[in-house]
Structure 1
């Protein structure tokens, strides 16, 4: 079958990209769209750049730069795969080409298709034991060690990028678009887009200190990959993260730099302490306090795996029904001593100019990085939505926070330097001192990060507000306002337009269906947006909120928009049969342009 599609987002099953026949979409990210493809009876993964390619017309300097960024990432991912083609834990590269035009089209790469599912999906479905997990840890570390020996740094290692084979359960590392490799393009230097709650502390500190503004480049290292391995293993052992992705950005960054997360075996008593200690060493704040390299980590895992014959290593590694184990007095004392040791080591490092920067400046400096990965946070939050268990956990967390604040009020000297006590004795208000001093702020973050266990809360709906004026003006000039549009809510949802679909929180792509009564957006226009499915009500019933911020027209033009799914409230009541994290809606609905987000 041939196709007249000219943009990657318009490719459908049966479309041909050179000799490769598209079978289905495997998902999209910030830089590419992946498809399952077929050729001569064999299956492959085809990943294509999603931004406009040079020479397709209508370019601005910004679009050309954006296209070069995407192309550069795709090229050096191909180079990384080619340099490590002999390793079984990495997909084999088969082709690099452009489509639909050989020189001006969208760059794509083709690798062998990796059957299976992402680790976090496999973990949730199979309920593995510690013995099974340590085998996967060892294999993943072996792949990382191989890459490091070739000078490649992954820089964005996470469970979503680890595919577990359905038969032998061997892990395969995919999506190396953010990797650094010797001799690669300048796009591989500096800070890599990644997942905020998995950023190594040294990466956060570099941005906060503002050295990049003076032309300094963040020098990635093997120890950064080791830290992200620690985040991955922490998630595997506890079904939580070291730091809750749902925390406000400022608190999240302070926590990554200053807070020691609870050890996995403290959160989940079923987790072997030997594996827990390995994870905690990987999560050390200072790179030099982690393992020397991936080979040393591999040896530590082999030593820990000698305990695998124990009965405790062979049971499914699940959290108790009531959620993470509460903190004991012994653990409180242990953490106090650990924090004292961390502060002692920190005092050995000369202070930098970073402390002169305000938190507002630091956040502004980080914004360019977090914009790339903001959508992934919401996806990560949704991943661990757990219905009734989450509600029970919320009660436990609330009680723990009250207990923690009480302990803080009576024994705050455990965490805070004595000068703060002098301020209080002189009559300064306790709350004022706490909120306006960096040590005090860090203490609050320490308590909240510690007692929230790093398990995400339900996604919070965005606040109402004005749509950007330039976007409103653009919609007005195109005649889009005060119109109604019919849309297929999810272009990847199977079924006909009269059926219901099941939807999850996170990014969504809808398609405009043209009728005589609809507005001027042409048939086939794609709307890119976000769904929020939890914690919302309309008319006392559970509801869904949908927003769209970009439209891709069939002629290839992208325009910013402010549109909502459903009626003027932006809320749509869930259909009967909806479950936590799975909202049922009509497959075809209406969308409205707005000048203000409801």
Structure 2
């Protein structure tokens, strides 16, 4: 089939990209789309960079920078795969080209198709044992070690980028767009693109120092990949992250740099302690305190795997249904000793005398803390006013405890001899964060990170509000108000009569023409939005809330919009068979433009 598609978002099954025939979408990200493609009876993965459409926008500095970054990621991945063509555990590169124009089109690469599921999805479905998980750890680390020997640094290693083969359960590393290789070009100023909650502490320190604003670039090292392996293994053992990605970015960065996460075997008693200790070493704040290299890590995993004959290693590694295990007195003592050891190491590296806080500075910190807590309590009260009284009382009690702990921390700081500057930098999170540039936020982060986890939780439904005035006026001027028929998720192929399975997060829908539709957006228009799938009801039934904020027309124009999925409520009742985190809905449904969010 030939195609008149103008933008990668419009590619559909049956369309041709050069000699490659698109079969289905494999997913989308901020930098590109992935498709399953076919040629001469063989299957391949075609990944296409997404950037501003050529000729539609002025070549401003921002547009040119975005194009270089998006194309640069694709070139990095192609160069990495080509330089490691014989390496097992990564896809084989087959082609690099542009579409639809040979020189000005969108850059794409073609690799062998890798069947299977991303690790985090496979982990939840397959319910593997610790013995199975350690085998995957060892294979992933072997691939990383081989890439390191060739001078390649991955820089964005996470479970979503590890595909587990459906038959032999061998892992394959995909999406190497952030990788660095000798002689490669630089993607961006400062840090390479990555995942915030998996950033190594040394990257966070670089960001907080602000040197990137003067054009400095972070010098990546193997230790950064080892830290991200630790984040991946932590998730595999606990189904949580060391630091909650839902935290505000500023607070998340403070936590990564200063807070010691709970050990996996403390959160999940089913996790083998031998693996847990390996993970905690990988998550050390100082790069030199981690393993010397990936080969040393592989050897440590091999030694730990000698325990696999134990019965506890052969049963499914489940997270306790009642949630994380409470902190025991042994763990409290263990964390105290770990903190002391970190302080001792820091004193050896950089012995300095810290300046004592003046009374005025202490009062300023107390004022900052009080305002921060008051703001948090006010925000909680505003949200909880719409919930049950029992929930509101619980939150208020938690807020009171938080305020008491914070005031206690501040008073403790005033009357305790101050440690050295090195201890402040790398020692106790409770002490050190009080003396940085964001004292109030840091204490709040410590409390949150100590008593909460980066585990999946119920979503918060967005609040009602007016559509931005300029957007509403623009829709009226263009005559876009009306009712539309949409395919809810363009990445799920099938007929209009079939169901789709939907997850919370970003969504791309496509407008289709139906006789009852009154809207004027042309068929093929793509709608970019967000789905909320948990904690929402409609007529006492579980429901999904969907909102769209941008439309991409077939001619390439992008238009801001306010649109909702379903009727005037913006809600769609889930079909029978829906599970937590997996909402079943018709593949095709109605959407409509609105001037206010319900």
Do they fold alike, i.e. is TM over 0.5?
Answer: yes
Equivalent position of 1:518 in the other structure: 518
Contact 2:46 2:108 in 1 (8 A): yes
Relative to structure 1, the CA distance from residue 529 to residue 239 in structure 2 (aligned partners, 3 Å threshold; closer, same or farther) is same
CA–CA separation in structure 1 for the residues paired with 2:572 and 2:268: 38
> Per-residue deviation at 1:317?
1.3
> Per-residue deviation at 1:562?
2.5
Count of residues paired in the alignment: 545
CA–CA separation in structure 2 for the residues paired with 1:436 and 1:48: 43
Equivalent position of 1:277 in the other structure: 277
> Per-residue deviation at 1:152?
1.5
Asked if 1:241 is matched to 2:236, the reply is no
Equivalent position of 2:488 in the other structure: 489
CA–CA separation in structure 2 for the residues paired with 1:127 and 1:564: 36
Asked if 1:42 is matched to 2:37, the reply is no
> Per-residue deviation at 1:121?
1.4
Structure 2, gaps ≥5 residues long: 366-389, 418-432
Equivalent position of 1:127 in the other structure: 127
Relative to structure 1, the CA distance from residue 341 to residue 552 in structure 2 (aligned partners, 3 Å threshold; closer, same or farther) is same
For the residue of structure 2 that corresponds to 1:108, the secondary structure is strand
Equivalent position of 1:66 in the other structure: 66
For the residue of structure 2 that corresponds to 1:308, the secondary structure is helix
> Per-residue deviation at 1:311?
2.5
> Per-residue deviation at 1:251?
3.0
Relative to structure 1, the CA distance from residue 246 to residue 410 in structure 2 (aligned partners, 3 Å threshold; closer, same or farther) is closer
Q: Write the deviation string for residues 475-533 of structure 1: whole angstroms up to 9, x where unpaired.
A: 344332x3332222222345543555432211211111235752221111010111001
CA–CA separation in structure 2 for the residues paired with 1:267 and 1:567: 43
**Correspondences of 1:134-533 after superposition (within 5 Å):** 134-187=134-187, 190-346=190-346, 348-349=349-350, 405=401, 409=405, 418-419=413-414, 441-480=441-480, 482-497=481-496, 500-515=499-514, 518-533=518-533
Asked if 1:86 is matched to 2:120, the reply is no
For the residue of structure 2 that corresponds to 1:312, the secondary structure is helix
Asked if 1:11 is matched to 2:1, the reply is no
CA–CA separation in structure 2 for the residues paired with 1:496 and 1:440: 54
Q: Write the deviation string for residues 555-595 of structure 1: whole angstroms up to 9, x where unpaired.
A: 12222323222234333333444332222334333323344
> Per-residue deviation at 1:189?
5.9
Contact 2:25 2:492 in 1 (8 A): no
Equivalent position of 1:391 in the other structure: none
Contact 2:90 2:172 in 1 (8 A): yes
Structure 1, gaps ≥5 residues long: 360-393, 423-432
For the residue of structure 1 that corresponds to 2:554, the secondary structure is coil
For the residue of structure 1 that corresponds to 2:132, the secondary structure is helix
> Per-residue deviation at 1:45?
0.6
CA–CA separation in structure 1 for the residues paired with 2:530 and 2:499: 19
For the residue of structure 1 that corresponds to 2:459, the secondary structure is coil
Equivalent position of 1:546 in the other structure: 546
Contact 1:532 1:544 in 2 (8 A): yes
CA–CA separation in structure 2 for the residues paired with 1:120 and 1:503: 16
> What TM-score, normalized to structure 1?
0.83
Relative to structure 1, the CA distance from residue 327 to residue 557 in structure 2 (aligned partners, 3 Å threshold; closer, same or farther) is same
For the residue of structure 1 that corresponds to 2:245, the secondary structure is coil
For the residue of structure 1 that corresponds to 2:527, the secondary structure is strand
CA RMSD, aligned part only? 3.4
CA–CA separation in structure 2 for the residues paired with 1:26 and 1:42: 16
Relative to structure 1, the CA distance from residue 478 to residue 421 in structure 2 (aligned partners, 3 Å threshold; closer, same or farther) is farther
For the residue of structure 2 that corresponds to 1:260, the secondary structure is coil
> Per-residue deviation at 1:205?
2.1
Relative to structure 1, the CA distance from residue 137 to residue 578 in structure 2 (aligned partners, 3 Å threshold; closer, same or farther) is closer
Relative to structure 1, the CA distance from residue 66 to residue 440 in structure 2 (aligned partners, 3 Å threshold; closer, same or farther) is closer
CA–CA separation in structure 1 for the residues paired with 2:76 and 2:406: 55
CA–CA separation in structure 2 for the residues paired with 1:580 and 1:82: 41
Contact 1:246 1:459 in 2 (8 A): no
Deviates more, 1:127-136 or 1:559-568: 559-568
Deviates more, 1:444-453 or 1:302-311: 444-453
For the residue of structure 2 that corresponds to 1:182, the secondary structure is coil
Contact 2:138 2:302 in 1 (8 A): yes
> Per-residue deviation at 1:307?
2.1
> What TM-score, normalized to structure 2?
0.83
Deviates more, 1:231-240 or 1:123-132: 123-132
For the residue of structure 1 that corresponds to 2:236, the secondary structure is helix
For the residue of structure 1 that corresponds to 2:187, the secondary structure is helix
Contact 1:416 1:439 in 2 (8 A): no
